Homo-oligomer: A and B are copies of this chain.
Amino acid sequence: MTESTDQATAPSARTTVKRGANRAVYAGEEVKAILDAGTIAHVGVNTPDGPIVLPMAYGRDDDTIFVHGSVANAMLRAGRSVEVCITVTIVDGLVVARTPFHNSMNYRSVVIRGEATAVEPERMLETLKIINDHVVPTWDLARAPSELDVKQTLVLELPLAEASAKVRGEGAIDEDIDMDGPHWAGVVPLTSTWGTPITNEDLRSEIPVPEVLTAMAGTDANPGKAYG
């Protein structure tokens, strides 16, 4: 592992997973794999009106996560940096135990805390491409953004230094007293799948669907689940 990966292996005290610590995974490679497999992030900041959590597109490059959204503007009202928590969760299945107290979900999640900063204007294009291409690389297929487009945009970056991953990927775990009982136990898997691209009604008729998008149809949007 590289040194930068090791940073993600040794999170700060506040990032330590306190509950269900047996499911905690701090290895940097696991954090990165989950971030790469996820679709959206939920970004939390505190405001004078209390906490707010908003869904945002994101991308990862090496040991940094980038989030994008007009809302980032509001988050930065107070300055050039903001304390955030960026959480990415993939739900992989419903765990049905012999008693509802042990019902659970199989999931992969990453929680990243720290001080997010605004990406400098000269790196804006590069980081927008990283976010755009996180789910599927379409940046180079389209018309490049204008200078004005880029000026209207804000990207926040946050190092993965205080990241922790948590994974549950197994069957139901019940108590000894229930093992001979009449109740079923198991997992109902959940899978997110890309569908067949739907061409815009206003598209010129001779333009074909890009191959990279037709190739997505039927594929798992969050590959790498541990069970099911």
**Contact between chains at B179 and A188 (CB < 8 Å):** no
CB contact under 8 A between A186 and B171, given known A42-B89, A111-B53, A143-B99 = no
Q: Is A34 an interface residue (CB 8 A)?
A: no
Q: In A98-153, which residues have CB < 8 Å from any B CB?
A: 98-101, 103, 105, 107, 109, 111, 113, 128-129, 132, 135-136, 138-139, 141-146, 149-150, 153
Question: What's the least CB distance linking A108 to chain B, in Å?
Answer: 10
Q: Is A20 an interface residue (CB 8 A)?
A: yes
What are the interface flags for A187-217 relative to B under an 8 Å C-beta threshold, 1 for contact and 0 otherwise?
A: 1111111111111111110011110010011
Question: What's the least CB distance linking A54 to chain B, in Å?
Answer: 7
Q: Is A223 an interface residue (CB 8 A)?
A: no
What are the interface flags for A67-102 relative to B under an 8 Å C-beta threshold, 1 for contact and 0 otherwise?
A: 001110110000000011111010101101111110
**Contact between chains at A189 and B195 (CB < 8 Å):** yes
Q: How far is the CA of A100 from the CA of B129 in the complex (A)?
A: 8
Query: What chain B residues lie within 8 Å of A85 (beta carbons)?
Result: 44, 50-53
Q: Is A178 an interface residue (CB 8 A)?
A: yes
Question: What's the least CB distance linking A95 to chain B, in Å?
Answer: 9
**Residue positions of A touching B, CB distance < 8 A:** 14, 18-20, 39-40, 42-47, 49-55, 57, 69-71, 73-74, 83-87, 89, 91, 93-94, 96-101, 103, 105, 107, 109, 111, 113, 128-129, 132, 135-136, 138-139, 141-146, 149-150, 153, 171-172, 178-204, 207-210, 213, 216-217, 221, 227-228
Please list 26 pairs of residues, one from A and one from B, whose beta carbons are closer than 8 Å in the complex, sorted by A's number.
A18-B71, A19-B71, A20-B70, A39-B91, A40-B105, A42-B44, A42-B53, A44-B52, A50-B83, A50-B85, A57-B105, A96-B197, A98-B142, A103-B138, A136-B188, A171-B198, A185-B199, A185-B202, A186-B198, A186-B203, A188-B216, A188-B217, A189-B194, A190-B192, A191-B195, A198-B227
